[in-house]
Amino acid sequence: MKLTRRDLIKLGAGAGVASLSGAWSPLMAGEAAIIKTTIPSTGQQVPCVGIGTVKFRGDPGSAGMAPFKQTLETFHELGGQVLDTSPNYGNSEEVLGRLLADLKLRDKVFMATKVDREDRLEGMARMEESFRRLGGKIDLMQVHNLRGTAAELGTMMSWKAQGRFRYIGVTTHRVSQHEDMALVMNSYPLDFIQVNYSLADRAAAERILPLAQDKGIAVLVNRPFGNGKLFGAVKGRDLPDWAAEIDAHSWGQVFLKYIISHPAATIPIPGTTKPHHARDNMGAMVGRLPDPNLRQEMESYMDALL
């Protein structure tokens, strides 16, 4: 049974959280309290920042894998769990499967991947290959960019009922697909969507994110830095005084905390292949988040620069 907004608020209150949304709550991870996002359909909580792996490519046995391995180690050590990949990302699934096995972390992550075939049987074969390449459980299977939605969601719902996935969803990274995304959200029992959203691209907040709240659907957020546009806009600028109010020590943390603080159950998944970037991103999971008034101030600040 999916948790309602009221259930999520009660859950947050029960954890002693000063939260307007109830979608996130700080839990202990080592010595630091990290923010976790509640998945509405089950109540499972996962760390509120994940990692996108579109650039995890190459020969799995080569020395070029070292930075990827170090990035995954840092991500895990600082409390990260949610990994998002796709068979469309070169051999990312194979690379991840190999590295996670080497690190003995395969069973300690929340693995999300995708399928994008119009034909049902081709989609089934594609998903079986993802299981093989990733070498373990797949927590979330998503229809990639809404391609083959009608064909694939039937299989995905059946496989979920069999216990092969815990969650199913659909993705897009284009505003032009938001209308189609809303139709799918209203037509199928989804656990997740994945959508583009950032301080540079707030279109999802108009309809998609509110609909996700109403439907009890969690949200993976791609392009959280606006495809680099946000960093370009603040290059050479010091952090504003209000960054200290949300315990943000870098622009990346500012941009991620803005997303995490949305009242929908949002989990940004910045693409990261460098350990120091992973460390900085994980810093967004600690400390205070902006309230609605500060979110508006952040929007106005960035609008003046973009």
The answer to whether residue 34 sits within a structural domain is no
Is pLDDT at 23 greater than 70 in this prediction? no
Whichever domain contains 83, its CATH number is 3.20.20.100
Are the beta carbons of 87 and 56 closer than 8 angstroms?
A: no
- The answer to whether residue 37 is domain-embedded is no
pTM of the model: 0.90
H-run or E-run covering 117: none
pLDDT digits (tens, 9 = 90+) for 186-220: 999 999 999 999 999 999 999 999 999 999 999 99
- Is the pLDDT assigned to residue 16 strictly greater than 80? no
23: Cβ contacts below 8 Å, ≥ 6 apart: 8, 12, 37, 38, 263, 264, 265, 266
Region 154-174 average pLDDT: 97
* Domains identified in the chain, total number: 1
**Domain hosting residue 289, numbered range:** 45-303
Burial class (CB in 10 A: 0-12, 13-18, 19+), 59: exposed
Q: What percent of the chain has pLDDT over 70?
A: 90
Contacts of 131 (CB under 8 A, 6+ apart): 138
pLDDT at 159 over 90: yes
Is residue 127 one of the residues assigned to a domain?
yes
Q: Does some domain include residue 32?
A: no
Q: Would you state the torsion angle of the CA atoms of residues 96, 101, 103, 106, taken in this order, to the nearest 10 degrees?
A: 80
As a whole number, mean pLDDT of residues 150-172 equals: 97
- What's the pLDDT score for residue 24? 52
If you average pLDDT over residues 145-169, what whole number do you get? Answer: 97
Q: Is residue 26 part of a domain?
A: no
Any domain includes 21: no
Is 84 a member of any domain? yes
